[in-house]
Chain A
Amino acid sequence: MTVLEADVRGIAAPPTRGILARLVRRPLALFGLVLIGLVVVVALGAPWIAPYDPYEQFFEGLSLEGAPLPPDGTFWFGTDLVGRDLFSRLIYGAQTSLIIGVVANGIAVLIGASVGIAAGYLRGRTEIVLMRFTDLMMAFPALLLAIVLAATFRPSLWIVAMVIAMVNWVQIARIIYTETRSLAERDFIEAERAMGAGALRIMFRHILPHLVSTIIVWGTLGIATTVLLEATLSFLGIGVQPPVPSWGNIIFENQTYFSSAPWLVFIPGIAILALALAFNLLGEALRDILDPTQQGYH
Chain B
Amino acid sequence: MGSPPPEVLLTVTDLVTQVATPVGARNVVDGLTFDLRHGETLCIAGESGSGKSMTALSLMRLLPRPMARVAGGRVLLEGRDLLALDDAGMRQIRGREIGMIFQEPMTSLNPVLTIRRQVAEAVAAHGGVSDNDAAIRARQLLDQVQIADAARRLDQYPHELSGGMRQRVMIAIALAQHPKILIADEPTTALDVTIQAQILALIRRLQAENNIAVILITHDMGVVAEMADRVLVMHQGRAVESGTAREIFQRPQEAYTQMLLAAVPRLGEMTGTILPKRAAASVVADPVGGSVVKVRNLNVRFDIKGGILQRPVKRVHAVDGISFDLGQGETLALVGESGCGKSTTGKALLNLVPWSGEIEIAGKDLAGRSRAGMKPVLRDIQMIFQDPYASLDPRMRVGDLIAEPLVIHGLATGSALADRVEYLIRRVGLSADQMKRYPHEFSGGQRQRICIARALSLSPRVIVADESVAALDVSIQAQVLDLLQDIQNETGISYLFISHDMAVVEQISHRVAVMYLGRFVEMGTRAQVFENPQHAYTKNLLAAVPVPDPARPRRAYVALDGDLPSPVKPLGHVSPPLYRRELGAGHVVWEREPARL
Can you list 11 pairs linking A and B with CB atoms under 8 Å apart?
A3-B428, A4-B479, A7-B475, A13-B433, A191-B454, A193-B371, A194-B383, A195-B382, A206-B393, A206-B396, A293-B438
Residue of B nearest to A5 (CB): B429
Are B393 and A188 closer than 8 Å at their CB atoms? yes
When distances are taken between beta carbons in the complex, the residues of chain A under 8 Å from B436 are: 13-14, 16
Answer whether residue A196 sits at the interface, using C-beta atoms and an 8 A cutoff.
yes
When distances are taken between beta carbons in the complex, the residues of chain A under 8 Å from B387 are: 187
Q: How far is the CB of A199 from chain B (nearest CB, A)?
A: 8
Residues of A within 8 A of B (CB): 1-11, 13-14, 16, 186-188, 190-199, 201, 205-206, 209-210, 291-293, 296-297
Answer whether residue B434 sits at the interface, using C-beta atoms and an 8 A cutoff.
yes
Most buried by A among B394, B451, B458: B394
Q: How far is the CB of A117 from chain B (nearest CB, A)?
A: 15
Q: How far is the CB of A182 from chain B (nearest CB, A)?
A: 13
Answer whether residue B437 sits at the interface, using C-beta atoms and an 8 A cutoff.
yes
Q: How far is the CB of A3 from chain B (nearest CB, A)?
A: 4
Please measure, in the bound complex, the distance between the C-alpha atom of A293 and the C-alpha atom of B352, giving whole angstroms: 29
Answer whether residue B258 sits at the interface, using C-beta atoms and an 8 A cutoff.
no
Are B395 and A210 closer than 8 Å at their CB atoms? yes
Apart from A8-B429, A187-B390, 11 more pairs, CB < 8 Å: A1-B427, A3-B429, A3-B486, A5-B429, A10-B431, A14-B437, A190-B385, A195-B454, A196-B409, A197-B408, A293-B438
Please measure, in the bound complex, the distance between the C-alpha atom of A296 and the C-alpha atom of B486, giving whole angstroms: 37
Interface set, chain B 385-429, CB cutoff 8 A to A: 385-387, 390-396, 404-405, 408-409, 427-429
Are A192 and B486 closer than 8 Å at their CB atoms? no
Cβ contact of B391, chosen from A8, A191, A197, cutoff 8 A: A191
When distances are taken between beta carbons in the complex, the residues of chain A under 8 Å from B486 are: 1-3
Cβ contact of B383, chosen from A1, A16, A191, cutoff 8 A: A191
Number of interface residues of B (CB under 8 A): 49
Can you list, as one digit per residue, whether each of B481-504 has a CB less than 8 Å from chain A (1) or not (0)? 011001000100000000000000
Are A296 and B431 closer than 8 Å at their CB atoms? no
Residue of A nearest to B393 (CB): A188
Can you list, as one digit per residue, whether each of B430-459 has a CB less than 8 Å from chain A (1) or not (0)? 110110111011010110000100100010
When distances are taken between beta carbons in the complex, the residues of chain B under 8 Å from A195 are: 378, 382-383, 404-405, 408, 454, 458
Cβ contact of A3, chosen from B385, B409, B479, cutoff 8 A: B479
Are B383 and A196 closer than 8 Å at their CB atoms? no
Are A201 and B391 closer than 8 Å at their CB atoms? no
Are B479 and A7 closer than 8 Å at their CB atoms? yes
Residue of B nearest to A212 (CB): B395
Q: Is the interface of A mostly helix, strand, loop or mixed?
A: loop
Are A191 and B350 closer than 8 Å at their CB atoms? no
Answer whether residue B22 sits at the interface, using C-beta atoms and an 8 A cutoff.
yes
Please measure, in the bound complex, the distance between the C-alpha atom of A191 and the C-alpha atom of B428, giving whole angstroms: 19
When distances are taken between beta carbons in the complex, the residues of chain A under 8 Å from B382 are: 194-195
Answer whether residue B544 sits at the interface, using C-beta atoms and an 8 A cutoff.
no
When distances are taken between beta carbons in the complex, the residues of chain B under 8 Å from A10 are: 431
Are A201 and B408 closer than 8 Å at their CB atoms? yes
Residue of B nearest to A4 (CB): B479
Answer whether residue B26 sits at the interface, using C-beta atoms and an 8 A cutoff.
no
Q: How far is the CB of A101 from chain B (nearest CB, A)?
A: 28
Can you list, as one digit per residue, whether each of B461-495 has a CB less than 8 Å from chain A (1) or not (0)? 00000000000000110010011001000100000
Are A11 and B441 closer than 8 Å at their CB atoms? yes
When distances are taken between beta carbons in the complex, the residues of chain A under 8 Å from B539 are: none
Are A190 and B393 closer than 8 Å at their CB atoms? no
Are B429 and A186 closer than 8 Å at their CB atoms? no
Most buried by B among A6, A7, A199: A7
Please measure, in the bound complex, the distance between the C-alpha atom of A195 and the C-alpha atom of B393, giving whole angstroms: 13
Cβ contact of A197, chosen from B404, B437, B458, B490, cutoff 8 A: B404
Residue of A nearest to B394 (CB): A293
Answer whether residue B374 sits at the interface, using C-beta atoms and an 8 A cutoff.
yes
Are A196 and B434 closer than 8 Å at their CB atoms? no
Q: How far is the CB of A128 from chain B (nearest CB, A)?
A: 12
Are A194 and B431 closer than 8 Å at their CB atoms? no
When distances are taken between beta carbons in the complex, the residues of chain B under 8 Å from A192 are: 393, 404
Please measure, in the bound complex, the distance between the C-alpha atom of A187 and the C-alpha atom of B393, giving whole angstroms: 9
When distances are taken between beta carbons in the complex, the residues of chain A under 8 Å from B383 are: 191, 194-195
Most buried by B among A1, A6, A296: A1
Residue of A nearest to B478 (CB): A4
Cβ contact of B392, chosen from A1, A8, A191, cutoff 8 A: A191
Known pairs A1-B486, A193-B352; A7 contacts B443 (CB<8 A)? yes
Please measure, in the bound complex, the distance between the C-alpha atom of A198 and the C-alpha atom of B446, giving whole angstroms: 27
Answer whether residue B126 sits at the interface, using C-beta atoms and an 8 A cutoff.
no
Please measure, in the bound complex, the distance between the C-alpha atom of A187 and the C-alpha atom of B385, giving whole angstroms: 8
Please measure, in the bound complex, the distance between the C-alpha atom of A198 and the C-alpha atom of B436, giving whole angstroms: 25
Answer whether residue B585 sits at the interface, using C-beta atoms and an 8 A cutoff.
no
Please measure, in the bound complex, the distance between the C-alpha atom of A192 and the C-alpha atom of B431, giving whole angstroms: 24
Are B440 and A293 closer than 8 Å at their CB atoms? yes
Known pairs A4-B479, A195-B382; A190 contacts B408 (CB<8 A)? no
When distances are taken between beta carbons in the complex, the residues of chain A under 8 Å from B394 are: 188, 292-293
Please measure, in the bound complex, the distance between the C-alpha atom of A5 and the C-alpha atom of B434, giving whole angstroms: 14
Known pairs A11-B434, A13-B436, A194-B350; A188 contacts B391 (CB<8 A)? yes
Are B395 and A292 closer than 8 Å at their CB atoms? yes
